[in-house]
Amino acid sequence: MNGSHDPLPDNLPWHELPVPDLLERLGTSAAGLSTPEAAARLARYGPNTIRAAAAKPLYLKLLAHFTHLMALLLWAGGAMAWLGNMPQLALAIWAVVFINAIFSFWQEHRAEQAVDALKRLLPAQATVLRDGTERQVPAEELVPGDLVRVSQGDRISADARVIAEWDLRVDQSTLSGESHPVRKTADPLPAESLSLPELANLLFAGTSAVAGTGTAVVFATGMATQFGHIAHLATETTASSSPLQLEINRMTRVVTALALAIGTLFFALSVGVLGRELHTGFIFAVGMVVAFVPEGLLPTVTLSLAMAVQRMAKRNALVKRLSSVEALGCCTVICTDKTGTLTQNEMTVREFWSGGVGAVVSGVGYAPDGTITAVGGGALPENAGAYRLLLAASLCNDARLLPPEGEGAPWKVLGDPTEASLQVAAVKGGVDLVLESSRLPRLRELPFDSVRKRMTTIHRDGTGETAFVKGAPAEVLALCDFMVRGEPEPLTPAAREVVLRQVDGYARKGYRVLAVAERGLSTPLPEYTPESVERDLVFLGLVAMHDPPRAEVADAVRKCRVAGIRIVMMTGDYGLTAETVARRIGVVREGEECRLVTGAELDRIKETDLPGLFSGPVIFARVAPEHKLRLVRALQGQGEIVAVTGDGVNDAPALKKADIGVAMGVTGTEVAKEAADMILLDDNFASIVNAVEEGRAVYANIRKFATYILTSNVPEAWPFILQILFGIPLPLTVMQVLAIDLGTDMLPALALGAEKPEPGVMERPPRSRRERLINRPLLLRALLWLGSLQALFCLVGFFILYASYGYSDFLHLPRPDLLPYRERLLSGPGEVYVMATTIFLVGVVCAQVGNAYACRTERTSVFSIGLFSNRLLLGGIGFELALCALIVYLPPLRHAFELGPLPPRLWLVPLCYPVLLLCLEELRKWWLRSREARRLPGGTT
């Protein structure tokens, strides 16, 4: 049943057929297939393997980092610089692209291997019945019609229908996401409204047997299994481009158009208005184009993401794809599982009721540390029957508690977590499990089944026998004639009503409730059947348990609400249980109406009607992989940016389709981890909220870089405009512009990408998909405010230097800029002009120091986060100033950039710029904060 082979002739409901009909339709018998028939079917249906999609070669993955839109723009900018006879500039730009591509590829070198992970979950061998005898065969040789034997600890190799079983229980968490072992039966079952994984007579590839034994007949192998179906969904689902990738591509197109327009304009002006030669005009235009291309954007984005990745790793979030960091920052919806993510995945007995007395159990998890007290406090009365209740619950039990393997290690469970929680409660109540098991040895068991909804064990008790029963309250209570109040007494109708009211009270608290009863057998019964054993029972009491929410999740949910992020629960658990947890942690607030939608209901809802489900609080329960994928697509279709959490194979398609897939690192399967973009090392929902904060910081940091760079473009552009308008000497040459953009500006800009999250970043709503990286407020701040201040300061310094040498008629200054550099230095006006351009360049560099601090925050005062808290920025500013001094005073660099040394007294002028710029920007931020405060109810300045 591999993808390229014919499927079985009939798509039959295997779960509904009686065993004889089932074997007949599959062409097999109780003796299994013959060896020749198995070989023929293997040739027909293909091996029992998961077909892998063709992997993208490594060289193509590497090439992608060299050929995206921003990289192509920089390649073109370097080529233009080369053609413009500026080879050093060309090599510098190309080096930026090359280094960034290698770094990005290295960060993302682990390709997604979801299908390979699926294959690793399949076992190497399987036990089959062929030619009437049992034998071991490679799992990939299983074919439809094979009879397989399954025992405790076996991993199941193909989809099969159970035809015989002895207390067979299977862990299906890799498919369903829920950790409770499922009791299997050989009885035919109607589908009703159940999905395939919910059918108790079917086994599925990749799941494992945790108890009992059984025989099953294979009806699907390879890609026809449920695992194969999920693998197909995972390989067919393409990962979406992150919002940051989409926005940078858009910004690249805008920058390209802007740079080419400016270059063309200045080429026309330099040739048509200034009368320069075509070659000189072309070099001039190339310089302007390159100056307006943000060469530092790629390394800044990569560094911002990489620094955020490092910070997130310290907060238990491991990121596989760099761009995923920012995607979390603008996420608007988190679709989360319940078990293990919002809860601790540890069933815990919270209360029990016996003899008319309620008791409260302290402690959580499987460590037997805690106490039992009566409701309202104090010790339990002797006649409550508490000890007998806990004893019966711990003996009618197949789980085992495993002590810690070392200091600090947790207690572990072998078997059903619900049964394990009963044993933990018994130990807290003083029951010695070892002693009581030896005093009351088990003789036999009547296993739980979905029809009876109870389990019974029979134990030797002195000279007689005792049966202990536990199960669903209504079913157990119906078999009881007595109840314990010190001594057994008749169970009257009024007493039954009291018990049922107690059950309802526990259910309203969201607890799972079990009833426990016993029956003394003075003499052995002729036969031990449910009908002969489970009657005339003595009701011992009720046990209420739940999987407690993680302690820190409620606060994380509150932060999500403040941050404008919606949480949608998609779980394989029952709806009422999920709703109780959702209300307890704040996903659904008190008084809110919450809609419960099951997987079966989703199957009946059209795609066009799915968006309507999200109009209010909603919980999706008993959902399958296809349901999660449909819901993610529906949310994305509404413009939402979706994060999905998951741990099982069933979550892989949705994890891959989401804008950001988050897998559980502790309980998650390899399939989920490989399909996800991020892995939580502690399986904690609160770590997702921390990651959202870091993601928002990344986007803010890129905006800070853009503001910083655009600001310096204003004082770089105004000299050319003033020269054309008024004919004054050019205050800044093309080579000096490039010295700023690719020299002094680079490291401080990169350091802004390493800023930590700004205070209050989680108190703002997520950014809209329609919000641009470079939007109107950013342009107004960078170009009209900060950039204009810089240009004004630098022009003032330019004219101050001319005035200090006696040139006061600024509209009729001598034009030594039209002469070659060496000829300028031979005349007084030429030497003064060289110093004037030098003070202008030094002024831009110094003003950028103040600008770097101004850009560290958007509204918050920079003094509130500490002037020295970003050490990378301090180093970048130190490098910037040192490089500026070198190109001014070191002869080879000074000549290359046509600069000259400044008199010491004139250094005081540009050194004032950073202080002036920062103070004026702090005043603007104070005004913004005051205006916002006045708009708030009761706000003050």
Integer Cα distance of 286 and 813 in angstroms: 27
- The half-sphere exposure of 337 on its side-chain side, counting CA atoms within 13 A, is 34
Instruction: Report CA torsion sign: 491, 492, 494, 500.
Output: positive
For β-strands 678-680 and 660-664, DSSP reports them as parallel
Which DSSP symbol is given to 239?
Answer: P
Q: ∠ CA(245), CA(113), CA(144), 5° rounding?
A: 135
Strands, DSSP E only, in 509-599?
512-521, 537-546, 566-570, 595-598
Integer Cα distance of 493 and 130 in angstroms: 57
Q: What residues form DSSP beta bridges with 541?
A: 516
The closest of 733, 738, 709, 713 to 723, measured between CA atoms, is 733
Q: Answer yes or no: 337 catalytic.
A: yes
For β-strands 660-664 and 642-646, DSSP reports them as parallel
- Residue 12 burial by Cβ neighbours in a 10 Å radius (0-12, 13-18, 19+): middle
Q: What is the DSSP track for 506-520? A: HHHTT-EEEEEEEEE
Structure-token match 């008790």, residue found: 461
Integer Cα distance of 388 and 401 in angstroms: 20
- Cα Rg of the chain (Å, integer): 37
Long-range (24+ apart) CB contacts under 8 A made by 80-86 are: 80/286, 80/289, 80/290, 81/286, 81/290, 83/286, 84/282, 84/283, 84/286, 84/287, 85/283, 86/283, 86/286, 86/287, 86/738
Q: Which of 159, 167, 171, 337 is catalytic?
A: 337
The H or E element that residue 361 is part of is strand 357-361
How many residues does this entry show for the chain?
941
715 near 787, Cβ under 8 Å? yes
Integer Cα distance of 338 and 154 in angstroms: 27
**Residues whose CB is less than 8 angstroms from the CB of residue 478 and which lie 6 or more positions away in sequence, other chains included:** none
Q: Which two tokens stand for residue 729?
A: 């000497």
245 near 321, Cβ under 8 Å? no
**Residues whose CB is less than 8 angstroms from the CB of residue 725 and which lie 6 or more positions away in sequence, other chains included:** none
Integer CA distances (angstroms), 225 to 9, 115, 509, 765, in order: 16, 14, 39, 43
288 near 734, Cβ under 8 Å? yes
Structure-token match 């009806």, residue found: 219
Q: What is the DSSP track for 647-666? A: -SGGGHHHHHHSSEEEEESS
Catalytic residues: 337
